[in-house]
Amino acid sequence: MDFLDTIKEKASSDGNADLNAFSQRGKKIIGYFCSYFPEEIIHAAGMIPYRMRATGKSDTTKGDIFFSSLNCTFVRRCFDKALNQHFDFLDGIIFLNGCDHTRRLYDNWRHADIKPDFRYMFVAPHKIGRLAEERFSEEMVNLKTAVENAFDLVITDDALRRSIHLYNKKRQLIAALYRERLKESVPIKGSELLSIMLTITMMPVEDAISLLETVIEKIDGRKTHKEGDLRVFMGGGCVEEIAHLELIESVGASIVADNLCLGYRHADMLCDESMDPFLSLARRYLNHFSCPRMMNDFRRRLDFLHTVKKEAAIDAFIFEKLKFCDLWGGEMYLCRQESRKHNYPILLLERELYGGSTGQIRTRIQAFFEQVRNQSYTPSELVVSAGNNYKAVMGGITREEKDHS
Amino acid sequence: MNKTKKTLKPFELLNYHMDLKIDILQFLFKFPRFLNGFLFFLRPIYLKKETAWNKRFRWLFLVLGAGKADTLELKAMSHALYAVTDNFFEVKAAKKNREKIVWVEWILNPEICEAFDLVSFNPEVLNVFANSKGMEYPPMIIEAAENQGTPIENCSAQKLAVGSLILEQIPKPSLILGGSHPCDTSISIYQTLEYLTGAPSYIMDFPYWKDEDSYRYYEKNTWELLSFLKKETGKDVDWDKLKTLLDRVNQINNYLREICEMSRAKPCPSSNSLLALAWAIREVNLRSPHMLSMVKAMHQLVRKRYEKGEGVVKKEKLRILLWFPPIPFFFYYFKWMEENFGAVIVADFIGYVSTVHIDTSSKETMIRDLAISQMHLAMGRQCHGPMEFITDEMLKLIDEYEPDCMIFSGHNGCKHGWAGLKIIQDICRGKDLPVLYLNLDIMDKRHTSEEEIKKQTITFFKSHGWA
Ligand code: SF4
Ligand code: SF4
């Protein structure tokens, strides 16, 4: 089996086997949500941060008892897994006010009284700036204290600095992988990178670093795309299905850049190792490439579209959201308006996590790629949805409109 | 979208509130008995449902109490109308004179604009007031926003702001004051609005908790807002003006809190529709002296009934807690239940007031307490934070107001509410409190119509032997 296949296999599970082994050796594992969470603090406490996910066998049957059909499938699936004891290996879980749906995980987890006992809400500001940084660094200190109290341990500044150093190293390696994708010959697929991200966010950072080093070594000289594949940018929130990205790639795309929760944000910005560790963490996590939950940073995200278009020679943008996700829905609106101004080809896709409909999705992406190749841009529907209960509304730029302009 | 555009001239909906008919209405308010008689006499032609030809007045006539309002209630409404139209006139003048207009998001009140003598405007205003021209207008505006790509799942109240902008129904802002509350729609749409208008924004970052650290953070946001406004307008804070307004706000809050307290009495002396209306007027023009006059009239009315031991209905049969936002397109819901079933909404999500007193003795205390009091405004205080912010208040109201049942007005946009539904259900079951779970869009009658809401309510009442 190829090295990357092994990673993919791990990534497709929820990591139980490896993590159980760690547990047996007395290592504590702390689940967390969101890329605004500072893993360093957990690592400095001698524990393993585990990014929560909906992978593995689960549906939404039990999750739907607590959440409604108006909530996104990421939280419904995660909660379903929790109710089915898939997260029993966790010693603690830390929630984040990422969005309205994920913040209710904290409430429902407590209400259903699911293991583990240590459940903590870590709060990230919704804006960037001096005030927010100050507040966020206080929040970092509060988290440290909460972990210390819950597990009866001490997190020293030195340990935290060491963790910051290691995580910076991890970031640099991820960034190196991202740089490789800018090349004309792309040595790693988007789907493969997603597998790697899923894997390294459920293992000790030391192991993640050596895994990344091996990946960089092994992909040297590799070419993953066919002649004529389009170079695609992927934007979207909780995208964790490797098969979904594989599907996009299979119809003629090479995914070379992204703004995914499990993507570029993990590579962007290092922590300043020379300053107060809490302020440094606050600064890095608040100012890294943002997600649409950050209100006063959308211009930077839109500017990124232009930069990345040039740097990564993007042929087409695909943005997608899970149904009922307000935040990514709004982001798609902005990106569409901006792309329209600049005549960038963009496809907006709406779907359910692990929701199937692969036939529909394939057809839509194929049709879009066809249009891009024929230089006719945005599909006539605004948001094409996989599944049924959503109306697709008219109004995109058609070839005729483009010709007129 | 083009079709929609053709049917609305620029600012048609705002202008609708600034013409002769409003003057006539204000004149009629001076003769409340006559006005009531007139509204009562015409009941057969508008009470039951909206038709093609009654749609221009039906919503307003129902809000005015359909001929059964108390004189003081009409007095309160007259002030409400003045507060709203005064703001529209100010905005119109500002537009004409090229003065700055500050958009203030609907859960942030515009007190700070008073300190800079800036014209404030609530871009979501048409979510309530577009109904006065006809209940088809809010859906029409929502559709304009959706047609341009605003996510369908966004709260319709805020899609209305985008749609109103696209359809040129509201003036463009010079500055925007937005907030990260009460929900994701706000977070998302205020980015859209800033993008579409190009106006510089200041974001009030609403903290997740309500503790000392959170209050301090929000207070610092408020100070930073002052600096932002100073920089953008070149003006300085007029502390005396701010103090005068905040003293008045304190009075307003005191009256409203007392009304809420009196509503605990059995029978309930107050119709919560007025409290909900006061919330809407607060959103639009808290700065107007008419706001205080409005709540004074409301207070006088409720106090009068309370002292006599009278209820808002002759025979109170049912006490209801309305949880989650009321339904602007069917504002008459309160009175419809009162009239037909002796069922009184004794407390609700929006009308219940729990803001803090603002100490106006110094600049520092004013800003500190203004920040804290903003964090206690309805919708913001419950929706942004842990589920306990919704359920603790709900439990408190269940204990204090002793409702016989609850109506959960499950608004589509409030996905954070739907995500906590099981918690609400379990609490109500534990309290043995029957609940009607409505699934609707509070701004968009196409989702669940007035008829459907009535039908579900009647079925619910019947199943419990209340009708
Ligand atoms: S997909 Fe959207 S709604 Fe769902 S958890 Fe992610 S950000 Fe929240
Ligand atoms: S009504 Fe609900 S969805 Fe709409 S703004 Fe308020 S909290 Fe958000």
Confidence of residue B388 (pLDDT cuts 50, 70, 90): very high
Last residue of a domain, one of B165, B198, B215: B215
Q: Is residue B25 part of a domain?
A: yes
- The ligand whose atoms approach the alpha carbon of B379 most closely is 2
pLDDT band, residue A387 (cuts 50/70/90): very low
In terms of domains, do B9 and B80 share one?
A: yes
- A395 — alpha (psi -120 to 50), left (phi > 0) or beta? left
- B265 and B197 within one domain: no
**Position B104 in a domain:** yes
**φ and ψ at A379, to 5 degrees?**
-60, 155
pLDDT value at residue A396: 32
Amino acid at B45: I
Using one digit for the tens of pLDDT, what is the confidence trace for A112-161?
A: 999 999 999 999 999 999 999 999 999 999 999 999 999 999 999 999 99
Across the interface, of A71, A111, A334, the residue whose CB is closest to B191 is A334
Could you read off the pLDDT of A192-206 as tens digits, one per residue? 999 999 999 999 999
Q: Are A218 and A196 in contact (CB under 8 A)?
A: no
Note whether B320 and B195 are same-domain residues. no
Instruction: Return mean pLDDT, chain A.
Output: 91
Task: Give the position, in ligand 1's atom list, of the atom nearest the Cα of A71.
Answer: 3
Q: Do B418 and A394 touch (CB under 8 A)?
A: no
**pLDDT higher than 90, residue A189:** yes
For residues B200-216, give the mean pLDDT: 98
CA distance A11 to B65: 62
Per residue in B63-85, pLDDT tens? 999 999 999 999 999 999 999 99
Q: What is the ipTM of this complex?
A: 0.95
| pLDDT averaged over every residue in chain B | 96
B209 touches chain A (CB under 8 A): yes
- Shared-domain flag, residues B284 and B202: no
CB < 8 Å to B149, chain A: 332-333, 336-337, 382-383, 393, 395
Closest by Cβ to A292, choosing from B154, B188, B194:
B188
A394, β-bridge pairs: A381
- pLDDT confidence of A59, banded at 50, 70, 90? confident
Asked if residue B231 is part of any domain, the answer here is no
The CATH number of the domain holding residue B282 is: 3.40.50.11900
Residues B270 and B403 in one domain: yes
Q: Is the dihedral of CA B358, B361, B366, B372 positive or negative?
A: negative
Q: What is the dihedral of CA A122, A125, A128, A133, to 10 degrees?
A: -60
**Residue among B147, B212, B418 with most chain A CBs within 10 A, to mutate:** B418
Domain assignment of residue B226, yes or no: no
Determine the pLDDT at residue A355.
Answer: 85
Main-chain phi, psi angles of B121, to 5 degrees: -150, 140
**Whether residue B113 sits in one domain with residue B27:** yes
pTM: 0.94
Ligand nearest to the CA of A324: 1
Nearest residue to A281 (alpha-carbon basis) of A171, A164, A162, A129: A164
- Domain boundary pick from B180, B215, B250: B215
* B36 pLDDT higher than 90: yes
Residue A350 dihedral angles phi and psi, to the nearest 5°: -125, 135
The closest of A375, A329, A381, A377 to A351, measured between CA atoms, is A329
pLDDT reported for residue A389: 31
Check residue A383 and give its pLDDT.
55
- Strand B343-348 to B175-179 pairing: unpaired
Check whether residue B192 and residue B302 sit in a common domain.
no
Helical packing angle, B137-147 and B156-166, nearest 10°: 80
Contact B153 A70 (CB under 8 A): yes
Rg (CA), chain A: 21
Q: Are residues B341 and B452 in the same domain?
A: yes
DSSP classification of residue B172: P
pLDDT at A376: 57
Candidates A202, A183, A203, A181; CA nearest to A192 is: A181
Asked whether B327 lines ligand 2 (CB < 6 A), one says no
- Does the structure show a pLDDT above 80 at B4? no
Check: CB of residue B398 under 8 Å from CB of residue B429.
no
Task: Point out the ligand nearest to the CA of residue A105.
Answer: 1
Question: Which tens digit of pLDDT belongs to each residue from A60-90?
Answer: 999 999 999 999 999 999 999 999 999 999 9
The set of residues, in sequence order, having a beta carbon less than 8 Å from that of B61 and lying 6+ positions away, is B39, B42, B46
Check residue B153 and give its pLDDT: 93
Q: How many CB atoms lie within 10 A of CB B52?
A: 8
Q: Give the CA count within 13 Å in the CB-facing half-sphere of A274.
A: 0
With b for 16 or more beta-carbon neighbours within 10 A and e for fewer, the A216-228 pattern comes to: beebeeeebbeee
In Å, how far from its chain's centre is CA B68?
22
Residues of A in contact with B152 (CB under 8 A): 329, 390-391, 393
Residues B202 and B264 in one domain: no
Which amino acid residue places its CA nearest to atom 4 of ligand 1? Answer: A72
Residue B270 and residue B395 in one domain = yes
Full strand arrangement of the beta sheet holding B201-204: B119-121, B101-104, B175-179, B201-204
Facing A135 at nearest CB: one of B146, B217, B422: B217
- Give B1's pLDDT tier (boundaries 50, 70, 90): very low
Per residue in A93-116, pLDDT (tens digit) is 999 999 999 999 999 999 999 999
The domain spanning residue B182 has which CATH number? 3.40.50.11890
B364 in a domain, yes or no?
Answer: yes
pLDDT at A382: 57
Quick one: pLDDT band at residue A17, thresholds 50, 70, 90? confident
Rounded (5°) CA angle A276-A261-A241: 145
Domain total of chain B: 2
pLDDT at A394 over 70: no
Angle of CA points B25, B28, B30, to nearest 5°: 125
For residue B66 the two structure tokens come to: 């359909």
Q: pLDDT tens for residues B347-365?
A: 999 999 999 999 999 999 9
Q: How far is CA A137 from CA A167, A269, A279, A280, in A?
A: 18, 17, 5, 8
3-class DSSP assignment, residue B125: coil
Distance CA A255, CA A263 (A): 12
Q: Which of B279, B8, B209 is nearest to A122 (CA)?
A: B209
Task: Tell me what percent of the residues of chain B surpass a pLDDT of 90.
Answer: 96
Q: What digits encode the pLDDT tens for the residues A254-305?
A: 999 999 999 999 999 999 999 999 999 999 999 999 999 999 999 999 999 9
| One-letter amino acid of A283 | R
The per-residue pLDDT for A345 is 94
Cα–Cα dist A188/B262, whole Å: 69
Domains of chain A, each with CATH number or no CATH:
3-356 (3.40.50.11900)
pLDDT in tens, B134-162: 999 999 999 999 999 999 999 999 999 99
Own/partner long-range contacts of A375-380 (Cβ < 8 Å, ≥24 apart): A376/A402, A377/A343, A377/A344, A377/A345, A377/A346, A377/A402, A378/A336, A378/A339, A378/A340, A378/A345, A378/A346, A378/A347, A379/A347
Residue A94 host element (H or E):
strand A92-96
Separation of alpha carbons A97 and B384, rounded Å: 10
Please name the residue that has the structure tokens 């904290």. Answer: A106
For the cut 50, the answer to whether the pLDDT of residue B17 exceeds it is: yes
> Is the CB of A131 less than 8 angstroms away from the CB of B418?
no
Model confidence band, residue A15 (pLDDT cutoffs 50, 70, 90): confident
What confidence score (pLDDT) does residue A356 get?
A: 82
User: Same domain, yes or no, for B159 and B286?
Assistant: no
Say if the Cβ atoms of B418 and A68 lie within 8 Å. yes
C-alpha distances in Å from residue A29, one per residue of A47, A80, A148, A405? 6, 20, 14, 57
Q: Is the pLDDT of residue A375 over 90?
A: no
The sign one gets for the Cα dihedral B399, B380, B325, B63 is: positive
B4: contact with A, CB 8 A cutoff = no
Q: Is residue B188 part of a domain?
A: yes
Residue B297 sits in the same domain as residue B209: no
Would the CB atoms of B152 and A395 count as touching at under 8 Å?
A: no
Q: How far apart are CA B209 and CA A239, in angstroms?
A: 29
Q: In this predicted structure, what is the pLDDT of residue B173?
A: 98
Q: Could you give the percent of chain A with pLDDT greater than 70?
A: 92
Is B77 within the bounds of a domain?
yes
CA dist B12 and B29 (Å) reads 24
Confidence of residue B341 (pLDDT cuts 50, 70, 90): very high
- Residue B331 in any domain: the answer is yes
Residue A384 has a pLDDT of 57
Domain with B373 in it: 240-463
Q: Is B156 on the interface with A (CB under 8 A)?
A: no
Return d(Cα B261, Cα B214) in angstroms, integer.
28
Separation of alpha carbons A202 and A48, rounded Å: 8
Q: Are strands B201-204 and B119-121 parallel, antiparallel or unpaired?
A: unpaired
When pLDDT is averaged across residues B234-258 and rounded to a whole number, the result is: 98
Residue ending a domain, among B215, B231, B258, is B215
